[in-house]
Amino acid sequence: MATVVVGGQWGDEGKGKITDILAEGADLVVRYQGGANAGHTVVVAGEAFKLHLIPSGILHPNCICLMGGGTVIDPLVLHDEIEGLQARGYSCDNLRVSHTAHVVMPYHKRLEELAEQARGRGGIGTTLRGIGPAYTDKAQRMPRPVRFRDLTDAGRLRELIAAQLQQKNVIIQHQYDQPPLTTEEVFDQVWPAAEQVSGYAVDGCRLVQESVRAEKRIVFEGAQGTFLDLDCGTYPFVTSSHPVAGGACLGTGIGPTAIDEVIMVCKAYTTRVGAGVLPTEDEGDAGQLLRDRGNEYGTTTGRPRRCGWLDGVVARTAAMLNGATSIAVTKLDVLDSLATIPVCIGYEIDGVMLDTVPSWPDDFEKVKPVYEEMPGWQQSLDEVRQWSQLPAPAQAYVERIADLTGVPVSIISVGHGREQTVFIG
Ligand code: IMP
């Protein structure tokens, strides 16, 4: 049984919690794209674990956790994350990293920092984790970038760094007028962590293929969200990988027919970090209330997230782009205090109504959301564990999400804790 958990908005939907819950019965959890730009929070017995690279299944020792070939790995972050988990009693013996995954190097982070500084207010607002430059090198192919298996061989790593710096230093010195990086300084920064983490390397593609053949229970954990996808998202304000469900095939080496279900995680309202269109954004008190109640501050960068109402057009389009088979609605409790809740049910553009997202970014910028007001429930959902315990207006809100997307809701989350979850059906 292979399940993809995918974000249906702009990331930060609560995929970490849903993946952690599904990992309970899983043999393998696989991250298929992205890198340390992600920030997945899992809360166990009131203790919060913030994961950037390692799959959210890591807290289940019997579940193997793989970083797939489509991810980009920063060895320094990986090393810190493993040490942090080990200090809290999780051995990480169940961790694996695909040997073909590309490595985020210090020059990627430096180049991104210089590029974003140069773009100024017109920038993408990236997480500055070197993600874009690492994927750029992957697509460029030559000089051959560093891949995870290269971290096992000091001589090879030095050669690859030297070849990369010949090219990178031209940009750093001549485009940005900054001092060049030396092979030794980059090597010295990376090698101590590389020595510690390179032992996790495996043939990730083979591991996933064999697990599919043996009919193991596999969860593919998406990072970021549908509208941050390089092809399907709000380009150019997107990330450099493929968060959509199809990315699970590219990033791990399985065919689309190996996927049995796609659970799209959809927060009960909308948030976004960084620049780009956000039609239902509320920059006033209501947006601030969502930010405060939902603790909407970036796990990776600490930036306040932009907040707004549930966007049914975004959810419907995402359901189609991912082939969602069911939806997990998260953070429903954040709406507890509201008397009425606006829900965007369509877009108006130049007098024409739309029920899906325009694929041309300039058109998307022009849309005006059309809202319907839904009654709030004005009571705490903290203790709700079953559908029947949800107040009628909260049931109606969840049912409206299913109506707008045409996809049934299978999971509702009403708090951080594993137990604060309602399963439907
Ligand atoms: P990058 O992935 O660091 O290149 O950033 C590109 C865009 O994706 C920026 O708008 C980031 O804020 C956004 N982004 C990247 N990772 C996440 C995430 O995990 N959650 C939410 N937004 C993200």
Report pLDDT digits (tens) over 184-232.
Answer: 999 999 999 999 999 999 999 999 999 999 999 999 999 999 999 999 9
Among 225, 222, 223, 224, smallest CA distance to 9 is for: 225
Which residue, by CA, sits nearest to atom 15 of ligand 1?
Answer: 37
Residue 43 has pLDDT above 90, yes or no: no
Confidence of residue 41 (pLDDT cuts 50, 70, 90): confident
174 in active site: no
| Average pLDDT over every residue of 15-44 | 94
Which residue, by CA, sits nearest to atom 20 of ligand 1?
Answer: 11
First-last CA distance in the chain: 18
- Global pTM value: 0.97
Q: Note the pLDDT of residue 296.
A: 96
Report pLDDT digits (tens) over 314-346.
Answer: 999 999 999 999 999 999 999 999 999 999 999
Q: Note the pLDDT of residue 214.
A: 97
| Average pLDDT over every residue of 57-69 | 95
The alpha carbon dihedral of 145, 244, 269, 295 has a sign of negative
Core vs surface per residue 393-420: b (16+ CB within 10 A) or e: bbeebbebbbebbebebbbbbbbbebeb
Residue 153 CB partners (closer than 8 Å, separation 6+):
none
Q: Note the pLDDT of residue 339.
A: 98
Catalytic position from the list 20, 40, 137, 282: 40
Ligand 1: atom nearest CA of 276 is: 10
Across the chain, mean pLDDT equals: 97
Q: How far is the CA of 94 from the centre of ligand 1 (A)?
A: 27
Residue 130 has pLDDT above 90, yes or no: yes
Report pLDDT digits (tens) over 339-361.
Answer: 999 999 999 999 999 999 998 98
Question: Which of 239, 270, 303 has the most ligand 1 atoms within 8 A of CB, as the residue to mutate?
Answer: 239
| Average pLDDT over every residue of 148-158 | 98
12 in active site: yes
Confidence of residue 383 (pLDDT cuts 50, 70, 90): very high
Q: How far is the CA of 273 from the centre of ligand 1 (A)?
A: 7
Confidence of residue 42 (pLDDT cuts 50, 70, 90): confident
Q: Note the pLDDT of residue 299.
A: 81
Question: Kind and range of the H or E element at 158?
Answer: helix 154-170
Core vs surface per residue 165-188: b (16+ CB within 10 A) or e: beebbebbeeeeeeeebebeebbe
Residues with a CB atom less than 6 Å from ligand 1 = 11-12, 37-39, 124-127, 129, 131-132, 223-224, 228, 237, 239-240, 273-274
Q: Note the pLDDT of residue 300.
A: 79
| Average pLDDT over every residue of 20-40 | 95
Ligand 1: atom nearest CA of 12 is: 20
Confidence of residue 298 (pLDDT cuts 50, 70, 90): confident
Query: Cα separation of 266 and 285, whole Å?
Result: 23
Parallel, antiparallel, or unpaired: how do β-strands 368-375 and 310-311 relate? unpaired
Query: By percentage, how much of the chain surpasses pLDDT 70?
Result: 100
Spell out the long-range contacts of 92-95 with Cβ–Cβ below 8 A and sequence spacing 24 or more: 92/54, 92/58, 93/61, 94/58, 94/60, 94/61, 94/62, 94/63, 94/64, 94/65, 95/54, 95/58, 95/65, 95/67, 95/200
Dig out the tokens for 353 from the structure.
């109504």
